[in-house]
Amino acid sequence: MDDNAGFRQRLARLLQLQGGLEIAGEAADGREAITKARELRPDVILMDFRMTTMDGFTAARAILQDVPDVKIFMLTAYPGALDRAKVTSNGLQGLLIKDQPIPEIIAAIRHSVGAVQPASDGVEAPPGR
């Protein structure tokens, strides 16, 4: 969920290349994100903090009321824009930075849903190992 179509599409393509991850949908603003989340009921949402129409933080809180099991990460290009404690104290999984290495973003997604992550030697290992 990001109002920057180019970034949203690049991130979706990178995530689609990962085994075990599926892109359920995309949204360009907070209101569309709420509608899509209610309709698609995804496991994880990556939500841009700054979007048109409705900011991502407001949209995320609304989504959690209707889809309480979804794991939502706030995405931002500005690491100092959000207080990590505020993010997690409002039921969100955490804060991800847009230029963070994709393997770290993928690890956060997998960890949030308790998925096993491939170890460097190709053997599956539980999250956190």
Among 28, 99, 27, 33, residue whose Cα is nearest residue 60: 33
* pLDDT score, position 16: 79
pLDDT confidence of residue 122: 38
User: Which pLDDT score is estimated for 39?
Assistant: 95
Lowest mean pLDDT of 20-29, 100-109, 119-128, name the range: 119-128
Give the structural domain span for 92.
5-113
Answer yes or no: is 59 within a domain: yes
Taking only the tens place, the pLDDT of each residue in 17-36 is: 877 788 888 888 889 899 99
Please count the CA atoms within 13 angstroms of the CA of 84 that sit on its side-chain side. 5
In a domain, 53, yes or no: yes
Residues of the chain with pLDDT > 90: what percent? Answer: 21
In a domain, 9, yes or no: yes
Task: Spell out the alpha helix ranges (H) of 74-116.
Answer: 84-89, 102-112
104 domain residue, yes or no: yes
Q: Are 92 and 74 in contact (CB under 8 A)?
A: yes
**Position 126 in a domain:** no
**Residue 83: inside a domain:** yes
104-108: list long-range contacts, CB under 8 Å, 24+ apart: 105/46, 106/15, 106/18, 106/21, 108/73
pLDDT higher at 12 or 35: 35
- What's the CATH code of the domain at 60? 3.40.50.2300
Does the residue 121 lie in any domain?
Answer: no
Query: Into how many domains does the chain fold?
Result: 1
Helix (H/G/I), strand (E/B), else coil: 98: coil
Whole-structure pTM value: 0.78
